Structure 1
């Protein structure tokens, strides 16, 4: 084999990226990382038997299924637990969950934004073993589908939007473990004029309306890549489940779910702006209230949900503690208000202690005096000053429904 063949270049790049623990540790500390030994790193692939578009069990008491997607039921959430267990996290698939062997998985990194520009054929290669050898970082963040709450455009505002009719369960808070993307890019060498990074998944090409849109992929700015992006391999201290991106996924904290590409297989680093259908055709605001050149969606809005079934029965004359959670992609939630009379009056909810990481838990005591139908409301304000509105302008994709959601209950 010629020493300048693509395969030879790729193998040398693997060795250079995976070796030199001391140098890697120095690089990690420079970007706020921690040694991999400080976390529980998976060493073997998860096991799964393909049986449908979603591989993990979907018991009806936990999930509402939507074909290739599955929504978490809020009435199944345990108020005593802060993190969302991987088994209970919602699933958003464009096609079907692939089963990937970690032993053969590779992340190919290329583009003219690297100090040593590479074509896709001559990409730098990072293996699963290489990734586990690098210093790791753990981040607790909210993961949320961009269309979470979409059904309320129809039921509350009378403007139905196309897509999965999520209520508010396409969200969860997870403690993620992975390698800072900044560490990998800086060790490979990043040009000062690099602009974008495009992440591509290894799931099957997405076909809609007879059009093959190719692999699920989406670009994001280099500034985000070197800020807090992670190459994630664990959830809550365990290997990723196949439905959530095993063996490795991208995580862009605070950003919409589609930006955190699952089953990551390729990163292109470019000196020019990159595009894909997932930031031009979808996942941007279109409709009468928005300009034709509305930018791609990034940071998630402020939202709140009750840990209670819609239409739940509440005992009259007895003290009931209502619980729920609020979250924001921009900043921690600082205030939550609750109304038990459809918005006529509001009271401050008591916030839980963990407010600076994923979502904020809250509670509100209520002693309903008479029987009948009631509408509960919860609205949150984050540290960036964003408060949930009463209504949000309609958009064709049904994205970012952040208005206060009307939650009916029966008092008896």
Structure 2
């Protein structure tokens, strides 16, 4: 197993993606989202180390741990053909998405990947329910956590509570948008953990450990935790562990946007983690809120598309957008500080300049 020299395998074009400056992390341009699902060529990439090159002939997913009665290893062909296959459409989002906007809101800067709005994408994922794999090893009744471990050089790993591991829509995916899983997105197999932060959906999966005790690793103690006032530490962690994501929205325009005057259709996306999007409202320049039209089905774990008509007048404007979910959570006006700049959920305030002539 080696690593690519460039950090990622797929071509990265500024016409489609935003470079976050690490050489590993690239966001999807919101103005280059052509449909409900994100094409692979512009699906965001978040990695802790260069994309590994894995020889599938020698690869196997090893399943064990003190709560696994009969440890097993599952090869690639077996994973793709022996177990029932399912397909789900789900959105993945990094917990640090909009970190730059979060810093601008609070007048500060945060360490970590400098994401704008693009660390979010959606795909159809095909593979095996994690619970079907775990059934083969005989999971103990008192099992607590399942740790997923990556084969990348960083050894990325994150535990799931047993209930989330056994959920209908937690899968080990081997295909993405109807094609074999691409290298940058986890080939030969990855987790897809619906509605949770992207870091839970471990790529380049190599091992699953089923445990009778809670598992703590750097990815749920030092990183991907909320540190600061109001965030109580969980076990040995520095703060509260991030799991399900909150409500957020974006407009499918550049930042800032430049438009011609006259009738426009403003389109965007909203996401609500494990919940579904129930409503999206907008207003222009601090005016009254109006309901946008949601143009896609309400599906938990998958973003919704929305739009509204606007007669754009020349000048500088701010379009504000807020979404609400199926549990009555609404985007707040402001997001409270946390040390690592995670979980920015504030009402979107998108700057737009309308020219004086068509």
**TM bucket, shorter chain:** over 0.9
TM-score, normalised with respect to structure 1 = 0.81
1:11-410 pair list within 5 angstroms: 50-65=4-19, 66=21, 67-78=23-34, 81-116=35-70, 123-133=71-81, 134-205=83-154, 215-228=155-168, 229-293=170-234, 294-316=239-261, 318-341=262-285, 343-356=286-299, 358-369=302-313, 371-410=314-353
Deviations 1:222-245 (A, max 9, x none): 111111321100011111110000
Deviation readout 1:265-288 (Å, 9 max, x if unpaired):
000001111110000011110023
C-alpha contact (below 8 Å) 2:268/2:306 kept by paired residues: yes
The alpha carbon displacement at 1:71 in A equals 1.1
Is contact 1:152-1:405 (8 Å) kept? no
Between Structure 1 and Structure 2, whose CA radius of gyration is higher? 1
Retained in 1: the 8 A contact 2:4–2:50? no
Cα distance in 2 for residues equivalent to 1:115 and 1:105? 22
Q: How far apart, in 2, do the equivalents of 1:403 and 1:246 lie?
A: 34
Relative to its length, the structure with more strand (as a share) is 2
Of 196-205 and 63-72, deviating more is 63-72
1:232 is paired with a residue whose SS is strand
C-alpha displacement of 1:289: 3.9
Contact preservation (8 Å) 2:60, 2:74: yes
Q: Is the Cα–Cα contact under 8 Å of residues 296 and 306 in structure 2 kept in the other structure?
A: no
Counterparts in 2 of 1:91 and 1:192: CA distance versus 1, 3 Å:
same
Q: Output the aligned Cα RMSD.
A: 1.5
Between 1:262-271 and 1:162-171, the stretch displaced more is 162-171
Q: Secondary structure at the match of 1:410?
A: strand
Q: Over residues 249-269 of structure 1, what are the superposed CA-to-partner deviations in whole Å (9 max), with x where a residue is unaligned?
A: 011111110001000000000
Question: How many pairs are equivalent?
Answer: 345
> Contact 1:289/1:393 (CA < 8 Å) preserved in 2?
no
Within 2, Cα distance between the matches of 1:187 and 1:108?
A: 12
Corresponding residue of 1:28:
none
Q: Give the distance between the partners of 1:71 and 1:322, measured in 2 at CA.
A: 21
Deviations 1:123-178 (A, max 9, x none): 41110011011111111111011100111122122132211111111001111001
- Worse-matched range after superposition: 54-63 or 285-294: 285-294
Question: How many Å separate the matches in 2 of 1:62 and 1:194?
Answer: 43
Consecutive unaligned residues in structure 2, runs of 5 or more: none
C-alpha distance in 2, partners of 1:405/1:107?
41
Deviations, residues 357-380 of structure 1 (Å, cap 9, x unaligned):
5111011100023x2110111110
Poorly superposed stretches of 4+, deviation over 4 Å: none
> Aligned partners of 1:181 and 1:248: how far apart in 2?
12
Q: Which has the higher helix share?
A: 1
Contact 1:159–1:394, Cα closer than 8 Å, also in 2: no
- Scaled by the length of structure 2, the TM-score of the pair is 0.93
Contact 1:230 1:250 in 2 (8 A): yes
Check whether the contact 1:74–1:307 (CA below 8 A) recurs between aligned residues. Answer: yes
